[in-house]
């Protein structure tokens, strides 16, 4: 394994506000990227799904995180030490263990669309993750220095880095419009490229067509405080030769608050769902106001027998519950009314389609029956809080009928489970595990150690503490779920596309040994569990697959307790490198490791079709059936209604829960010899 040399991958040790802004941006593009906020408001559907461009879409590089600057950064090592014995975990622990007061409580009231078990919810709303909030003292300390990333092959004495003309921190009153012009320059001539890290909600980033760009933003009441805006200039000749500047924007309350324009409230976007007649339906309806007040919600045509109650924790959310008794369309006319000016309103119409029970019946045998006969686990990733979606009942039924294995798509991610030190939110994962038990599905625990969907306090933790944080987290999760969850992704995505180690917060603190340590801790905490290394783009030939095989070999040599490899396999419908996948599977099998297809989905991109998609699903299934070490064939969801790549309809049921050609192909292939 080679250590990446590109200095920019370490980058500057990020300013704190940058992280918050970017996290916000991540929240905006991905429903579940912000586990903690979604965990408590799971069913509100205002966030568009993740955009997808390449096979590793969604692996959006987070900005360089706020590693603790006080730490001395040692060169991480890519060697895995052999035969290590873990020291005992500290007593008392480094962060408080989960306490009784984080135990979920029975969810009463109009929450559930499932009837197999009693739902639980978290007892309290966990406080906002305020790690990284900037203060006046930060602002007064003056502008942050530029951060220059110089690729190894660039000589800064002959090519000077781009820079910004006249960039300063700025102050603005809430309600006023802010204009900041960015002029990138280069002493060697040419006009540097420019790109911003994240743009505040409601702001514009305009091209002035003279080599400059402007940030134009009218902050409102909720923006009062200090935030950062980061922009990067790229060298006209060497695009990876970059200068990053972060400015701070201080938004102050105006002397007269009525100076701030009062904007109309909005009804949060609600998706149009297909429902099954006679199922209980819950709809979470959120109203928002750009000025930060809480609008009221009116439903102008509430369905017969419907109830509308406030959410137990979120004043902006109301829960509508009803049972559609006839098939056809159900439309809701929703109106949000401003808290300060009742004449200021906005409305939205949402229409649900109600189908008959018979419309959801699939001909032929169920996938799980066919798979069980072949001793194969067939799985799906379970939507976070599926039981709080309008179509939760039909979702749960089809999933339980078709699959004997279920992955925790987002419900075990660290930011959701443990957003603040010592504070745990178990309800989503508890519900998923209970539901799986009731429906006789085995659970695939995803994922213990990853570089994404982490809480701020972990990203900012001191290097010296990270190993203990990691081990305590693994131990606490496995202590709770280890007996109910037989398979775990212990380490996720530790490799870069080129097969070298990703410079994650774990690698930067511990070097490659973090992988070994994580597996050893997992084995200690859940001795019976199957422990996997999981990654994307490792199934077909190339440097990343080679890197994965080399990593598995080195783990084996070191005596690391790894039992198998999870192949994510987020593919496109024109994928045809099946022979290479068979070869990689065999290499892994030769290392005496199991193979889990862990996150399969097949996007239909421009020019591709459902028949091609079906073929890819079927071919991958054949590869698994032909490889004795392949234990599971798991899809990253099952209905196109809910997919992280929803716009590419990558799953085996359509958005109306109708089986697609891919479903029938799997049925057929599973029944064959």
Instruction: Kindly list the residues in this chain that would bind ligand XIL in the complex (CB under 6 A).
Output: 30-33, 50, 58, 409-410, 447, 492, 568, 599, 644
Residue 101 CA: distances (Å) to CA of 92, 126, 222, 423, 533: 19, 11, 31, 9, 33
| Burial (0-12, 13-18, 19+ Cβ within 10 Å), 496 | middle
Residues 409, 445: contact at Cβ < 8 Å? Answer: no
Q: Which of 228, 493, 508, 618 is catalytic?
A: 493
**In the complex, what is the shortest distance from the CB of residue 193 to ligand XIL, in angstroms, rounded to a whole number?**
28
Q: Which C-beta is closer to ligand XIL: that of 114 or that of 491? A: 491
Residues 493, 535: contact at Cβ < 8 Å? Answer: yes
Residues 431, 382: contact at Cβ < 8 Å? Answer: no
Q: Which C-beta is closer to ligand XIL: that of 291 or that of 425? A: 425
Q: Which C-beta is closer to ligand XIL: that of 30 or that of 504? A: 30
Q: Which C-beta is closer to ligand XIL: that of 229 or that of 644? A: 644
**In the complex, what is the shortest distance from the CB of residue 453 to ligand XIL, in angstroms, rounded to a whole number?**
7
Token code pair at residue 643: 């997919």
Q: Which of 65, 244, 409, 599 is catalytic?
A: 599
Non-local (6+) Cβ contacts of 637 within 8 A are: 380, 381, 383, 409, 601, 643, 644, 651
Distance of CA 50 to the CA centre of its chain: 9
Q: Which C-beta is closer to ligand XIL: that of 409 or that of 475? A: 409
Spatial distance between the Cα atoms of 194 and 165, rounded to a whole number of angstroms: 13
Q: Which residue in this structure is represented by tokens 């119409």? A: 349
**In the complex, what is the shortest distance from the CB of residue 139 to ligand XIL, in angstroms, rounded to a whole number?**
32
Active site residue 45: no
Q: Give the single-character DSSP code of 121.
A: E
Nearest to 114 by CA among 483, 459, 392, 448: 392
**In the complex, what is the shortest distance from the CB of residue 32 to ligand XIL, in angstroms, rounded to a whole number?**
4
For residues 197, 203, 207, 208, the Cα torsion angle rounded to the nearest 10 degrees is -130
Token code pair at residue 58: 């969604």
Q: Which C-beta is closer to ligand XIL: that of 205 or that of 481? A: 481
Nearest to 133 by CA among 179, 66, 63, 62: 66
Judged by phi (left if over 0) then psi (alpha if -120 to 50, else beta), residue 453 lies in left
**In the complex, what is the shortest distance from the CB of residue 43 to ligand XIL, in angstroms, rounded to a whole number?**
14
**In the complex, what is the shortest distance from the CB of residue 156 to ligand XIL, in angstroms, rounded to a whole number?**
37
Q: Which residue in this structure is represented by tokens 């002029």? A: 183
Residue 383 CA: distances (Å) to CA of 39, 411, 595, 637: 11, 8, 23, 7
Q: 570: part of which helix (H) or strand (E)? A: strand 570-572
**In the complex, what is the shortest distance from the CB of residue 458 to ligand XIL, in angstroms, rounded to a whole number?**
16
Q: Which C-beta is closer to ligand XIL: that of 31 or that of 665? A: 31
CB atoms within 10 A of CB 329: 10
| Burial (0-12, 13-18, 19+ Cβ within 10 Å), 375 | exposed
**In the complex, what is the shortest distance from the CB of residue 636 to ligand XIL, in angstroms, rounded to a whole number?**
6
Q: Which C-beta is closer to ligand XIL: that of 509 or that of 538? A: 538
Residues 313, 305: contact at Cβ < 8 Å? Answer: no
Active site residue 176: no
Spatial distance between the Cα atoms of 616 and 610, rounded to a whole number of angstroms: 10
Q: Which C-beta is closer to ligand XIL: that of 228 or that of 599? A: 599
Residue 219 CA: distances (Å) to CA of 129, 158, 291: 22, 42, 9
**In the complex, what is the shortest distance from the CB of residue 80 to ligand XIL, in angstroms, rounded to a whole number?**
22
Judged by phi (left if over 0) then psi (alpha if -120 to 50, else beta), residue 338 lies in beta
**In the complex, what is the shortest distance from the CB of residue 24 to ligand XIL, in angstroms, rounded to a whole number?**
14
| Burial (0-12, 13-18, 19+ Cβ within 10 Å), 608 | middle
Q: Which C-beta is closer to ligand XIL: that of 51 or that of 342? A: 51
HSE-CB for 98 with a 13 A CA cutoff? 20
Q: Which C-beta is closer to ligand XIL: that of 33 or that of 490? A: 33
**In the complex, what is the shortest distance from the CB of residue 642 to ligand XIL, in angstroms, rounded to a whole number?**
9
Known catalytic residues? 493, 599
């Amino acid at each position: 394994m080679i250590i990446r040399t590109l200095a920019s991958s370490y980058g500057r040790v990020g300013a704190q506000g940058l992280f918050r802004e970017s996290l916000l941006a991540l929240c905006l593009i991905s429903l579940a990227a912000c586990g903690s906020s979604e965990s408590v408001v799971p069913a509100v559907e205002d966030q568009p799904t993740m955009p997808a461009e390449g096979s590793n879409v969604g692996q959006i590089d987070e900005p360089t995180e706020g590693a603790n600057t006080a730490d001395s950064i040692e060169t991480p090592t890519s060697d895995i030490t052999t035969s290590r014995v873990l020291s005992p975990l500290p007593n008392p622990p480094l962060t408080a263990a989960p306490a009784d007061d984080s135990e979920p409580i029975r969810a009463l009231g109009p929450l559930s669309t499932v009837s197999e078990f009693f739902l639980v919810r978290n007892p309290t709303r966990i406080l906002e993750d305020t790690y990284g909030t900037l203060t006046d003292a930060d602002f007064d300390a003056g502008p942050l220095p530029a951060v220059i990333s110089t690729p190894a092959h660039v000589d800064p004495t002959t090519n000077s880095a781009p820079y910004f003309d006249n960039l300063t921190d700025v102050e603005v009153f809430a309600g006023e419009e802010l204009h900041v012009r960015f002029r990138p320059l280069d002493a060697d001539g040419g006009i540097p490229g420019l790109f911003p890290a994240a743009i505040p909600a409601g702001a514009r980033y305009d091209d002035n067509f003279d080599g400059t760009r402007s940030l134009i933003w009218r902050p409102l009441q909720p923006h009062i405080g200090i935030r950062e805006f980061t922009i990067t200039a790229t060298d006209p000749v060497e695009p990876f030769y970059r200068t990053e500047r972060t400015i701070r924007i201080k938004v102050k309350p105006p002397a007269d608050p009525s100076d701030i324009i009062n904007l109309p409230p909005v009804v949060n976007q609600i998706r149009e769902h297909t429902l099954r007649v006679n199922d209980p339906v819950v709809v979470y309806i959120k109203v928002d106001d750009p000025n930060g007040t809480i609008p009221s919600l009116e439903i102008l045509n509430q369905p017969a027998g419907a109830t509308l109650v406030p959410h137990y924790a979120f004043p902006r959310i109301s829960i509508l519950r009803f049972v559609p008794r006839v098939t056809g369309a159900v439309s809701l006319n929703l109106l949000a009314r401003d808290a300060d000016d009742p004449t200021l309103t906005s409305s939205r119409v949402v229409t649900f389609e109600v189908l008959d029970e018979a419309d959801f019946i699939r001909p032929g045998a169920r996938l799980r029956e066919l798979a069980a006969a072949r001793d194969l686990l067939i799985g799906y990733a379970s939507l976070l809080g599926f039981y709080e979606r309008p179509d939760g009942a039909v979702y749960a039924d089809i999933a339980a009928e078709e699959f004997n294995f279920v992955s925790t798509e987002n419900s075990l991610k660290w930011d959701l489970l443990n957003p603040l030190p010592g504070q745990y939110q178990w309800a989503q994962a508890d519900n998923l595990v209970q539901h799986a038990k009731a429906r006789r599905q085995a659970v695939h625990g995803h994922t213990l150690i990853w570089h994404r969907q982490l809480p701020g306090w972990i990203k900012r933790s001191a290097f010296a503490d990270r190993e203990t944080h990691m081990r305590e987290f693994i131990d606490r999760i496995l202590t709770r779920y280890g007996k109910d969850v037989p398979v775990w992704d212990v380490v996720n995505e530790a490799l870069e596309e080129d097969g070298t180690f990703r410079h994650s917060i774990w690698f930067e603190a511990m070097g490659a040994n973090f992988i070994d340590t994580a597996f050893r801790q997992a084995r200690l905490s859940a001795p019976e569990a199957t422990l996997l290394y999981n990654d994307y783009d490792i199934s077909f030939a190339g440097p990343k697959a080679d890197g994965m095989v080399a990593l598995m070999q080195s783990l084996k040599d070191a005596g690391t307790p790894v039992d198998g490899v999870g192949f994510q396999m987020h593919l496109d419908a024109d994928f045809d490198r099946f022979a290479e996948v068979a070869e990689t599977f065999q290499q892994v099998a030769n290392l005496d490791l199991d193979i889990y297809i862990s996150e399969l989905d097949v996007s239909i991109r421009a020019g591709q079709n459902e028949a091609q998609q079906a073929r890819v699903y079927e071919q991958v299934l054949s590869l698994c059936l032909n490889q004795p070490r392949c234990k599971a064939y798991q899809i990253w969801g099952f209905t196109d209604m809910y997919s992280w790549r929803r716009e590419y309809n990558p799953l085996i049921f359509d958005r109306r829960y109708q089986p697609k050609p891919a479903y029938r192909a799997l049925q057929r292939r599973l029944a064959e010899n």
